[in-house]
Structure formats: C-alpha cells, structure tokens
Amino acid sequence: MIRAWTRAAITVAALALPATAEAATGARSAVNLPAVVTFALFIAITLGITWWAARRTRTTADFYSAGGGITGRQNGLAIAGDYMSAASFLGISALIFADGYDGLIYSTGFLVGWPIILFLLAERLRNLGRYTFADAAAFRFGQAPVRLSSTFSSLTVILFYLIAQMVGAGQLIQLLFGIPYMYAVGSVGLAMTIYVLFGGMIATTWVQIIKAVLLLGCATFMTLAVLYHVGFSFDALFAQAVAVKASLAGQAGADEATAAQSALSILAPGGFIKDPASAVSLGMALMFGTAGLPHILMRFFTVPDAKTARTSVLWATGWIGYFYLLTFVIGFGAIILVGANPAFFDPATGKMLGGNNMAAIHLAEAVGGDIFMGFVSAVAFATILAVVSGLTLAGASTISHDLYASVLRKGNPDPVAELRLSRLTVLALAILAVVLGIVFEKQNVAFMVSLAFAVAASSNFPALLLSMLWKDCTTRGVAWGSAIGALSAVVLTILSPTIWVAQLGAAEPIFPLASPTLISMPLGFLAIWIISALDRSARAERDRAGYVAQRVRSETGIGASKASEH
C-alpha cells in the first residue's frame, strides 16, 4: 500500500514538472519555485495523514464517518474546511473583482443557511441517521423509493459541485506550474482519489481541518495587507477600487462620463445579477441549498451524539462567517492591486493570467511576493482537495450505503463488498470529475456551485425537512416530490442562460433566470405536500403512524447509538 502511495506521489510530481510550461495557454513561462516547494510540502504532509488514517480505517463506519469519534470543535473546523471551497476563496473574490457589490449575495447566501441547520436539522439528523442524510429522510418510510430518489438528487448535487472545484483546481495548478489545463485537472483527480480511497473519512476530516486553519490564516493576512494599503479605511478601499475601474474603462475606449458611471456600478447591485427575480432565486438556492448538501450533512455522523453535532454547527458558523467577511475585502483589494497591474494580464489578449478565478492568487503575490503566493496557492489547492475529497466520499456513500446496502441488500450488506464498492465508486467519480472539469473549463466556479445549491434546495432540503417535521408525509410524497424538485432544477438550469446560451450557443434562453430555485424549490415542497395528501395506500398509513416514534427519537436521541432497525 505504501508503495502504491509512493508511485502515486511520483506521478503527481511528474504532472507538476514545468517541462510543458510553454504549452500552457495563458500561463507564465517561469514556474514559481516557492509555490512548487510549498505545494510539494503540503502533498507530503497530507499523504502522511492518509497513511496514518488508512491504518485506522478498517470498517465501513470508519470509512463513512470516522467511527463517530470526532469532537465538536474538530468537526466544526472540518465543516468549515469542507464548506469554504474554491467557490468561496477563488470564485467570490473573482465575482467581486469583476462585478463588485453583487458578489456579496454569495457571501451572505452561503452563510445564512447555517441557522437553519443549527435549529432545524443538526440534532435531528444525528439522532435519526448513521452515515448519510437519506438515513434520516427514509427513517419511517419505504426504503427503496426514498433512497433511490435521494441517490439521484445527491449525485446531481455532488457532480455540479465537483465541476466547480475541478475547474478552480485546474486553473490554479495550470497557473502555478505552467502545465496544460487538462493535465492540471488530472493531477487533482489523482490526488483526491489517493486521499479518499485509502484514508476515508478520517483522512478527509484531518485534511479539512488543516486546510481550514491555513485558509483562515492566509485570508486574514491578505485582508490586513489590503487594509494597510488603504490606511485601514473602507472609504479609501471603495474610492480606490472605483478609480481603478474608471481608469480601465477609459483605457478600453469609454468616454469620461461613461467610465465613471461604469466604475460606480461596482458599489451597487445589478452588475452580475440583472433583475430582482434572479437575485431572490439565487439567494434561495444559497440559503436553503446549504441545508441539503450531502457532503455537509454527512459530517454530522462523524460525532458521537446530537449535542456534539449542535456544537459543530456553532463552531462552523463562526469560522465561516468570519471568512466571508474577509472575502469582501479581498475582492475589492484585488481590484486595486491586481486590476491596475499589467503584470497580471496577458499582453496579447488583455485577459487575466489564469482567468478571473485567479484574482485572489494574484492578490497574494501583490501583497506578499512569490513566497506568499506560493503558500496561498498551496492553501487554495488544499481548499479544493479537502472539498473534492468530501464530495467524493459523499458520492461513494450514496452508492454503496444508500443504493447497495439499503436497497439492493435490504439493510443486510456484506461489509467487505460494501467497502469495496465504495472504493470503486471513488475511482469512477474521480474520472467523471476530471472529464466534467475539462468540459466546463470557462465557467465561474462560484456560479457553478450555485447550481448545485439550487438542486439541493429543490430536492434534498424539502424531503429532509418535511420527512422529519410533518406527520402526514408519506413514502410516495418524499420520493416523487424530491425527484420532481431535482429534475425541475436540472431541466430549468439546462434551459437557463448559463447552459442554453453560454454552453450550447443558443441565441435566447428558454428559461430566463440563471438560477431555477425560485420555481423548482416551491415545486419540490408542493409536490411532496400534494402527493402525500392524496396518498391513501396502506404504506401511507404506516408512514403516518410511524411519526410519533420518529419524533421521539429525533428529539431525545433514544436508540440513536444503535443500528437502524429498518
């Protein structure tokens, strides 16, 4: 096993060699040596963690939930590390760099979903489930329909989310090492496969904890450096950002009045999100989608009890809230220190080296030089690696636990076969993630994540909330309602400007909103309510009768430490 890791590490290093630097479009010809050294050091440390974790990963419980032995503070940091993704660090700062104020809707939306998890879901989820959120959603219902529906919605969410992470990772490694984008994405897919395949949830948890600490430290330093540059004055921060935008607009040929008006737009809504309906729809996706993300909900099963699950959310909310405050300053700082510096742009095309998603990385170089840029690049890679590891593990558990163990084997699986299937799923998801990362190379990573949130808000969140809190909810209602919510979100996303126009080249979108949540989430709730209310089957009567037992267990935790009885 150690030899396998050694070969994999050598392969990762080989992919990072600068021999093909001149073939990388938009990348610098010179490789950042401090960045390479820092990156290699991080890889070595995390491979060591994986080796340590693999020796402790012997059962399915170890692989899925780290044996339930993570403390509240550790899990809070791990959740923060899992949640503060490439979309947060790279994507939001890129949006603020490009559009200013509108980037705040992402920072705010990503944060405000956590009170919902704290007050409505965390303890109930831990008391009802074992490894995945479908354990709780299917607690009193027929297992096969609910878990099949949750498998479809969860895999859809995971794949959308993986696309964003792989795009961010590919652009980062391409910029850092000067290798073609395709090989950059492939190297990330290889690394995440090693960590999850051998280390499971234990390795994933500690990679996420280390990444959270490093990312918070880097973001704090960058924020202080930007504020120092403007004399710790927010007025000066905004004024200088507007001045830079006006200068750039003037250089592009705009007259003085037009340039000034264009620059001032970064301090008002409407740059990226053009109408109120789109803003509301996107806000709903980010707020309610958080409570339906499979890889986040899965983390509540890594702690020993419901009280620790609640403590985890408190810690996670604090760290996540602090981080999103920093991204706002980082984005405007990038306008000032990166936007006005031609060294960060390709002289032939005028576009930012590595694309706008690299605004925060260039800012790191502007405030701390090559050494700090190397450190931040390694941390950004750790950010992506931690998230894709969590996503891959969630996808593997969905296939092996929800589909194989609970549906095909009816709750009596062969543990060895289940663990083997989990690892095979990890390999399949890694390959798919690399392919999709290449296909969606040009998409903004924050926006791609918002599509994952839209599906989660339209399917997983309604199913989980109503199954736990509404006594008249039935198997048919949850299964069909969740599927309808997920399918409508996917179809409307395909018909939206993001896919229909930007990817497929159509002149006009069929569905006008970029985010479908304003339609698809109410549709998911409505479908569950109508189908459950009309359901008069014998199964529905048992579902309704089982609500009291479910309520007692979800509120008290009695029996939560035992294996599920269904």
Beta bridge partners of 345: 352
Q: Retrieve residue 257's tokens.
A: 């009045």
Query: What is the DSSP secondary structure assignment for residue 352, as one 8-state letter?
Result: B
Cβ atoms 299, 397 nearer than 8 A:
no
Quote the pLDDT of residue 232: 94
Cβ atoms 480, 149 nearer than 8 A:
yes
Q: Is 205 inside any structural domain?
A: yes
Quote the pLDDT of residue 292: 92
Quote the pLDDT of residue 450: 74
Residue in the structure block whose two tokens are 């509120």: 555
Residue burial 337-371, b: 16+ Cβ < 10 Å; e: rest: bbbbeeebbeeeeeebbbbbbbbbbbbbbbbbeeb
Query: What is the DSSP secondary structure assignment for residue 135, as one 8-state letter?
Result: H
Q: Of 450, 110, 496, 99, nearest to 270 (Cα)?
A: 99
Q: Is 77 inside any structural domain?
A: yes
Beta bridge partners of 352: 345
- CA torsion sign for 351, 352, 354, 357 is negative
Q: Is 309 inside any structural domain?
A: yes
Q: Retrieve residue 28's tokens.
A: 């610098």
| 141, 145, 146, 149: CA torsion to nearest 10 | -170
Integer-rounded Cα radius of gyration of the chain: 23
Spell out the per-residue pLDDT of the chain, length 566, in tens: 434 433 333 333 333 333 323 333 344 445 667 667 777 787 788 788 888 888 888 788 888 888 788 999 999 999 998 888 766 787 788 888 888 887 777 788 888 888 888 888 889 999 998 888 899 899 999 989 999 999 999 998 988 888 877 887 787 777 767 778 888 888 878 877 887 777 788 888 888 898 899 899 999 999 999 999 999 999 999 999 998 888 887 777 777 777 777 778 788 777 667 778 888 898 899 889 989 999 899 999 999 988 899 999 999 999 999 999 999 899 999 999 998 888 888 888 888 887 777 889 899 999 988 888 878 877 877 777 778 888 888 888 899 888 888 888 888 888 888 888 888 888 888 888 888 888 877 765 656 777 788 999 999 999 999 999 999 999 999 999 999 999 999 899 889 887 788 777 888 989 998 889 999 999 999 999 999 999 999 999 999 999 999 999 998 888 775 433 33
Q: Is 52 inside any structural domain?
A: no
Q: In 10 A of CB 277, how many CB atoms? A: 14
- CA dist 524 and 68 (Å) reads 32
Q: How many domains does the chain have?
A: 1
**305: alpha, beta or left? (left if phi > 0; alpha if psi -120 to 50):** beta
Quote the pLDDT of residue 86: 65
Q: Which domain holds residue 452?
A: 2-28+65-556
**Reduced to 3 states, what is the DSSP secondary structure of residue 345?**
strand
Q: Of 365, 281, 354, 292, nearest to 117 (Cα)?
A: 292
| DSSP string of 259-297, one letter each residue | HHHHHHGGGSS-SS--SHHHHHHHHHHHHHHGGG-HHHH
Q: Retrieve residue 217's tokens.
A: 């430290």
Q: Is 457 inside any structural domain?
A: yes
Quote the pLDDT of residue 87: 64
Extract the runs of DSSP E, i.e. beta strands, from 142-241. Answer: none
Q: Is 271 inside any structural domain?
A: yes
CATH of the domain at 398: 1.20.1730.10
Q: Is 59 inside any structural domain?
A: no
- CA dist 367 and 75 (Å) reads 32
What element of type H or E holds 48? helix 33-54
Give φ, ψ of 352 to 5 degrees.
Answer: -65, 140
Residue in the structure block whose two tokens are 């299937």: 421
Q: Is 562 inside any structural domain?
A: no
- CA dist 174 and 273 (Å) reads 29
Q: Of 255, 227, 161, nearest to 448 (Cα)?
A: 161
Q: In 10 A of CB 139, how many CB atoms? A: 24
Task: Supply angle C-alpha 106, 108, 111, rounded to 5.
Answer: 105
- Alpha carbons within 13 angstroms on the beta-carbon side of residue 255 total 2
Cβ atoms 219, 330 nearer than 8 A:
yes
Q: Retrieve residue 558's tokens.
A: 């009695």
